[in-house]
């Protein structure tokens, strides 16, 4: 078996971590049991480019149980858990090409290694795998049954590819499933972003002025949790409807230029570039902390910060770099501007990934049931209903059912007031 990981000897710790996460992934476990018996993915070659964490390991185990011949590579150089990669290879027999902290060249080499496996199903978190596939192996695209996309930014990139008629394979926008973004982005990114910031800085959030750029699914999750910890939260937006929602949810809303002047901590989570740029850095208070939990490392204009800095100290503490501007003000950049919840914490908690990855597993199975033309597809409603019903059941929550009378009322136009 070919693979490229940090150290196979780390496998016992990785196995414990994977099993611990599995305790909180009952829906995926249920699917794994069925996959083991039915083998719906029998022999299909797969390549998945995801954050290589304990939760992803449980998805990989599930796909393998379903009969997939799977290889994994990382979708982010800093989120790879090296003990998990070791256990995936040694204990679960799944080839992995990922090393925590790998440079750009190795990151792309690993994507190429995964594609050399000649997958017929692919899975992405940010669309890097599909993008390399189209650029360097275009002839292989027609052999792909489908690809699954896990995150908002990936779906945006793929939609742009489709619009310009470049997309040569069908993609399921797993991110857009309610069982994914309503929970994973809001509660998963919400909690783990706060967790990452606290682990990196050990600051008290109560009483701080915290600005969140972007009031999408992730942003509102972070904002709610910051508020719950006692921070005074400011939202910046470019979408009037989202800005209005933020205002009515009780947050202050203002342009970034204004927010930058007063904030103690600024978190970008907008899926857009240069949300924090030169003019904002110049306006910030001494000692401000800035972090990104949105898209790769592009939401904070780090080259501009480097240009402006009269001096800098890397790793003033783990995951904190200090940049001192000519006016003497210090700006602390957390996690080098990469996703702080993955760099400084452990990414999304398993319970929420249970739903996202159950969706991934069931869509993988579904993608083999018929031929799909190139394009972007939604996750079928039956899959979403199945997952939410099962998740509720595993949480011990029961709900009411419509009575026949209520059903009739809701489906009739004749019955009025």
By C-beta, is 248 or 399 nearer to ligand NAD?
Answer: 248
Six-digit token string for 277 = 């740029």
What's the rounded Cα separation, in Å, for the pair 319 and 387?
A: 36
Tell the smallest beta-carbon distance from residue 351 to ligand NAD (Å): 15
Contact 219, 266 (CB under 8 A): no
Asked whether position 217 contacts ligand NAD by CB under 6 A, the answer is yes
Interface with ligand NAD, residue 81, by CB under 6 A: no
Cα–Cα distances in Å, from 78 out to 102, 335, 347? 8, 9, 11
CB of 172 to ligand NAD, least distance (A): 16
**What is residue 71's three-state secondary structure?**
strand
Q: How many positions of this chain bind ligand NAD (CB under 6 A)?
A: 28
Q: Which position among 56, 62, 232, 341 is part of the footprint of ligand NAD (CB under 6 A)?
A: 341
| Binding segment toward ligand NAD, per CB under 6 A, in 95-103, 201-209, 290-298, 380-388 | 290-298
Closest to ligand NAD by CB, 119 or 294: 294
Q: If you search the block for the tokens 């203002």, which residue do you land on?
A: 254
φ/ψ of residue 22, rounded to 5: -60, -30
Cβ–Cβ < 8 Å for 14, 51: no
Contact between 189 and ligand NAD by CB under 6 A: the answer reads yes
CB 71, CB 96: distance < 8 Å: yes
Question: CA 189, CA 294: separation in Å to the nearest integer?
Answer: 9
Q: What residues form DSSP beta bridges with 74?
A: 50
Tell which positions 120-179 bind ligand NAD, by CB under 6 A: 151-153
Q: Which of 68, 269, 379, 390 binds ligand NAD (CB under 6 A)?
A: 269
The DSSP call for residue 379 is: P
By the rule CB under 6 A, 335 interacts with ligand NAD: no
Find, among 242, 251, 247, 246, the residue nearest to 271 by Cα: 242
Does 360 bind ligand NAD (CB under 6 A)? Our answer is no
Instruction: Give yes or no for residue 237 binding ligand NAD (CB under 6 A).
Output: yes
Among 338, 349, 310, 320, residue whose Cα is nearest residue 54: 349
Residue 185 in the binding site for ligand NAD (CB under 6 A) = yes
Which of 190, 214, 335, 349 forms a contact with ligand NAD (CB under 6 A)? 214
Could you tell me if 40 and 140 are in contact, meaning their C-beta atoms sit under 8 angstroms apart? no
Of 11 and 211, CB closest to ligand NAD:
211
Cβ atoms < 10 Å from Cβ of 221? 25
For residues 294-323, which are near ligand NAD according to CB under 6 A?
294-295
Q: For ligand NAD, which stretch binds (CB under 6 A), given 111-119, 267-275, 318-326, 396-404?
A: 267-275
> Is residue 275 at the binding interface for ligand NAD, with CB under 6 A as the rule?
yes
Strands (E), 86-133: 96-97, 121-124
CB nearer ligand NAD, residue 40 or residue 337: 337
Query: Which of 3, 92, 145, 215 is close enough to bind ligand NAD by CB under 6 A?
Result: 215
Residue of closest CB approach to ligand NAD: 216
Cβ proximity to ligand NAD: between 91 and 238 the closer is 238
Q: What percent of the chain is helix, strand and coil (3-state, nearest 5)? A: 50, 20, 35
Reduced to 3 states, what is the DSSP secondary structure of residue 410? helix
Stretch that binds ligand NAD, among 88-96, 128-136, 181-189, 312-320 (CB under 6 A): 181-189
Where along the sequence are the contacts to ligand NAD (CB under 6 A)? Answer: 151-153, 181, 185, 189, 213-219, 236-239, 242, 269-272, 275, 293-295, 339, 341
């Amino acid at each position: 078996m070919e693979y490229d990981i940090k150290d196979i000897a780390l496998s016992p710790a990785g196995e414990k971590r994977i099993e611990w996460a599995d305790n909180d992934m009952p829906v995926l476990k249920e699917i794994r049991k069925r996959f083991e018996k039915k083998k719906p993915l029998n022999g299909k070659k797969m390549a998945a480019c995801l954050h290589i964490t304990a939760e992803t390991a449980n998805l990989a185990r599930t796909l393998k149980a379903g009969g997939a011949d799977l290889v994994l590579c990382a979708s982010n150089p800093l989120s790879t858990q090296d003990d998990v990669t070791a256990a995936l290879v040694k204990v679960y027999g799944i080839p992995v090409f990922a090393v925590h902290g790998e440079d750009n060249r190795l990151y792309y080499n690993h994507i190429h290694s995964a594609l050399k496996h000649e997958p017929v199903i692919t899975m992405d978190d940010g669309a890097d795998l599909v993008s390399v596939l189209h650029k360097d192996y275009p002839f292989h695209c027609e052999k792909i049954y489908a690809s699954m996309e896990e995150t908002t930014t990936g779906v945006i990139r793929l939609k742009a590819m489709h619009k310009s008629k470049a997309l040569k394979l069908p993609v399921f926008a797993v991110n857009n499933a309610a069982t994914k973004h309503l929970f994973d982005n809001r509660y998963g990114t919400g909690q783990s972003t706060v967790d990452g910031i606290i682990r990196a800085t050990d600051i008290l959030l109560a009483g701080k002025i915290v600005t969140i750029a972007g009031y999408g699914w992730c942003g509102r999750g972070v904002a709610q949790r910051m508020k719950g910890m006692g921070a005074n939260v400011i939202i910046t937006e470019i979408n009037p409807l989202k800005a209005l929602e933020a205002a009515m949810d009780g947050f202050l809303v203002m342009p970034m230029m204004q927010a930058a002047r007063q904030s103690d901590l600024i978190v970008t989570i907008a899926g857009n570039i240069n949300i924090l740029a030169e003019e904002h850095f110049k306006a910030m208070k001494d000692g401000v902390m800035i972090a990104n939990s949105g898209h790769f490392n592009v939401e904070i204009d780090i080259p501009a910060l480097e240009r402006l800095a009269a001096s800098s100290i890397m790793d003033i503490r783990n995951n904190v770099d200090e940049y001192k501007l000519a006016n003497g003000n210090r700006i602390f950049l957390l996690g080098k501007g990469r996703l702080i919840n993955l760099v400084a914490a452990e990414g999304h908690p398993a319970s929420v990934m249970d739903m996202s990855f159950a969706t991934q597993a069931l869509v993988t199975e579904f993608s083999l049931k018929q031929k799909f033309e190139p394009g972007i597809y939604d996750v079928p409603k039956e899959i979403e209903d199945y997952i939410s019903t099962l998740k509720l059941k595993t949480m011990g929550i029961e709900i009411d059912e419509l009575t026949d009378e209520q059903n009739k009322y809701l489906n009739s136009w004749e019955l009025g007031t």
